[in-house]
């Protein structure tokens, strides 16, 4: 899905909601088996319940890789079930270089047909550029993350900038707003306005709203652009809204609540 298609979907649905499929096998609702088949059934029910209210899904690959070959099959089947009407993100945080990065890009963009993949830029251009060489596909590069450990490196001084500022500035020169997004955590809302000022045209993938305590209103006030420019990810607050057999109904209600808030914030 290219940039214009994504923007069109956002305005048509009045939503910039991304539902995170962090499908923890230990948290599956009552009535579902705690195996790969149970995860797939859960994912399908969540997708059916939320697809009308979101524009994107983010599949955290760790929850599938941990199940071995069966988990990879569930990941592939889940992406296929979502279809091509939604933007599909592989939250894999790949960060290797050269031929290895190229193979990761082929795995997620060709074999698995994701629209985007999250990328860690620590090893420099070699770890990002291979993901920018596939037309219509996106690299979503870690910028300023929402976890407490962001203080260890990202928020440390690096010359006359903080490290995350230097990283984002350099990474932005490798791609364009057509194929490059940044992860900017919702718990970093205090600096989000300045980040948006530096990158007026880039999309931001924003985790941390919901269970992690980030404010949708604050994020939106500081970072919405004329073309929206946001994909706000909500995972546990939606998919685990209920531990019972009504989990899909509760997920739908929670996704609708976020969509309605987003529609109001869009004006």
**Residues involved in catalysis:** 93
Measured between alpha carbons, how far is 67 from 64 in angstroms, rounded to an integer? 5
CA-closest candidate to residue 61, choices 100, 98, 104, 110: 104
**Cβ(207)–Cβ(213) under 8 Å?**
no
Residue 113, Ramachandran bin (φ over 0: left; ψ between -120 and 50: alpha; else beta)? left
Provide φ and ψ at 88, rounded to 5°: -115, 120
Number of C-beta neighbours around residue 36 at 10 A? 20
Q: How far is CA 7 from CA 82, 114, 178, in A?
A: 18, 17, 11
CA-closest candidate to residue 134, choices 114, 107, 105, 111: 105
């Amino acid at each position: 899905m290219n940039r214009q298609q994504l923007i069109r979907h956002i305005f048509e649905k009045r939503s910039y909601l991304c539902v995170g499929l962090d499908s923890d096998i230990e948290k599956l609702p009552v009535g579902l088996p705690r195996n790969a088949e149970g995860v797939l059934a859960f994912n399908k029910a969540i997708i059916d319940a939320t697809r009308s209210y979101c524009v994107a899904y983010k599949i955290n690959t760790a929850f599938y890789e941990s199940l071995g070959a069966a988990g990879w099959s569930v990941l592939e089947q889940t992406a296929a079930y979502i279809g091509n009407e939604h933007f599909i993100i592989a939250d894999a945080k790949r960060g290797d270089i050269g031929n290895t990065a190229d193979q990761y890009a082929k795995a997620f963009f060709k074999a698995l047909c994701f629209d985007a993949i999250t990328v860690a830029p620590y090893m420099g251009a070699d770890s990002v550029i291979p993901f920018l060489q596939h037309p219509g596909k996106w690299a979503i590069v870690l910028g300023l993350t929402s976890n407490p450990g962001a203080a260890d490196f990202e928020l440390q001084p690096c010359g006359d900038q903080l490290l995350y500022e230097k990283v984002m500035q350099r990474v932005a020169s490798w791609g364009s707003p057509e194929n490059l997004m940044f992860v900017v955590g919702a718990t970093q809302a205090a600096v989000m306005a300045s980040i948006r000022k530096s990158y007026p045209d880039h999309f931001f993938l924003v985790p941390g709203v919901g269970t992690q305590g980030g404010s949708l209103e604050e994020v939106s006030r500081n970072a919405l652009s004329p073309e929206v420019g946001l994909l706000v990810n909500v995972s546990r607050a939606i998919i685990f809204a209920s531990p019972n057999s009504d989990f899909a109904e509760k997920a739908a209600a929670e996704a609708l609540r976020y969509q309605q808030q987003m529609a109001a914030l869009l004006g």
